[in-house]
Amino acid sequence: MVKILTDQHLERFLSKARRIRLLIVGDLILDHFMSGVVRRISPEAPVPVLEVKKQIYRCGGAGNVCLNITGLGARATIASIIGDDSNGSLLRNMLEENNVDTFVLTRRNFPTSIKTRVIAGSQQMIRVDNEQVEKMTSDELAKMKKFFCSEIDNFDAVIISDYGKGVIVSPLISYLVRLCHSHKKIITVDPKIDHFFYYKDVDCLTPNLTEASAGMHMSEPVSDDGIISLGKKIIRKLRSRGLIITRGKDGMSIFSDSGIFHLPAISKEVFDVTGAGDTVIAVLTLALSCGFDLLKSAIFANIAAAVVVQKLGTANVSPQELRTMFPGYKPETIETIQ
């Protein structure tokens, strides 16, 4: 067992965060939440009828990563692609209203990805995805590279937020990794299963257990020993400096230079896990950029995730919410696995 964090660490993190600027590269998604009550079954088919009481639009995908960063006082810039449509305009406006700088390429006759979640009470009934997956063109790739090359020194770190909608392609990742290494910038990845082997030589990946297993073409482990074996294989294969495997209600496992650790989950009440992975990669990378090591950074991310899973839909965490959570968190419960 180890005890490594104090309130002073938290205040130092929040103070330093205001001077950090992060670049987020990934897929933008518009999240649409339609909530209400169900009182009857439709006479047309054996399905419930939802009486809509509220509709909410939020930045999803890489956009939610950005809002988790600006919500803690840091600066964020998003590099992505959207459609030339009303949903794309809405996304761009929401990002700008939340102080996110944008380098967003617009495609004609291309729909901006939107996920609609229909919720009755606290129960999600169905999710409807309207999207068209097309890989980045050579022209778009050239524009992205030119932007990254000219702006990389203005950022402290780069986050790859991969939702598999076409922005993340292998040549883009290899270019960003080389660029970050040559300019001594941190690069982290929230990965997608289909692209798992794109992410070689990054500083840290944050897959959940299912993504980590499927990405390595292995069955999902059911024991700590199995997770340790899986994590070591990922680090060897991808040559990553660090790895965090998130495990939902079972917390997260951290693979770092100083050892392998397990953090238990904090939240006693989980209302909605939508976007929790966005919070983890955002807060983790922000803490690393503030000079904290991987374990301390993971603890900050774990605390932040405990906040957002108690909220409806894609959500972010505020400095005050972190302060409220911190006194109740007991760092001595961290287990040194190996």
Q: CATH no. for residue 225?
A: 3.40.1190.20
210: containing domain: 7-39+51-336
What number of CA atoms fall less than 13 Å from residue 127's CA on the CB side? 10
**Has residue 146 been placed in a domain?**
yes
Q: What is the band of 337 on the pLDDT scale with cuts at 50, 70, 90?
A: low
Q: For residue 95, give the H/E element and its range.
A: helix 86-97
Within 10 A of 37 (CB to CB), how many other CB atoms are there? 12
Contact 49, 42 (CB under 8 A): yes
**Has residue 73 been placed in a domain?**
yes
Contact 233, 215 (CB under 8 A): no
* Choice between 276 and 92, residue whose per-residue pLDDT is larger: 92
**Has residue 324 been placed in a domain?**
yes
**Has residue 260 been placed in a domain?**
yes
At 136 the pLDDT is 94
Checking if the pLDDT of 122 tops 60, the result is yes
**Has residue 45 been placed in a domain?**
no
Q: What is the band of 332 on the pLDDT scale with cuts at 50, 70, 90?
A: very low
Residue closest to 308 by CA, chosen among 284, 264, 262, 274: 274
Mean predicted lDDT score pLDDT of the chain? 91
Rounded distance between C-alpha atoms, residue 251 and residue 248, angstroms:
6
- For residue 278, indicate whether it is catalytic: yes
Contact 85, 31 (CB under 8 A): no
At 265 the pLDDT is 80
Q: What is the band of 1 on the pLDDT scale with cuts at 50, 70, 90?
A: very low
Rounded distance between C-alpha atoms, residue 93 and residue 95, angstroms:
5
Q: Tell me the one-letter amino acid at 174.
A: S
Non-local (6+) Cβ contacts of 142 within 8 A are none
Rounded distance between C-alpha atoms, residue 76 and residue 326, angstroms:
25
Q: What is the band of 61 on the pLDDT scale with cuts at 50, 70, 90?
A: very high
**Has residue 1 been placed in a domain?**
no
Q: Which of 27, 101, 156, 278 is catalytic?
A: 278
How far is C-alpha 182 from the chain's CA centre? 25
3-state secondary structure of 315: coil
**Has residue 65 been placed in a domain?**
yes
**Has residue 2 been placed in a domain?**
no
Rounded distance between C-alpha atoms, residue 269 and residue 207, angstroms:
22
3-state secondary structure of 190: strand
Q: pLDDT tens across 165-205, in order?
A: 999 999 999 999 999 999 999 999 999 999 999 999 999 99
Number of domains in the chain: 1
In the structure encoding, which two tokens stand for residue 138, read together? 């050579």
Rounded distance between C-alpha atoms, residue 320 and residue 65, angstroms:
19
Q: What is the mean pLDDT of residues 34-38?
A: 94
At 331 the pLDDT is 47
Q: What is the band of 2 on the pLDDT scale with cuts at 50, 70, 90?
A: very low
Q: What is the mean pLDDT of residues 63-80?
A: 97
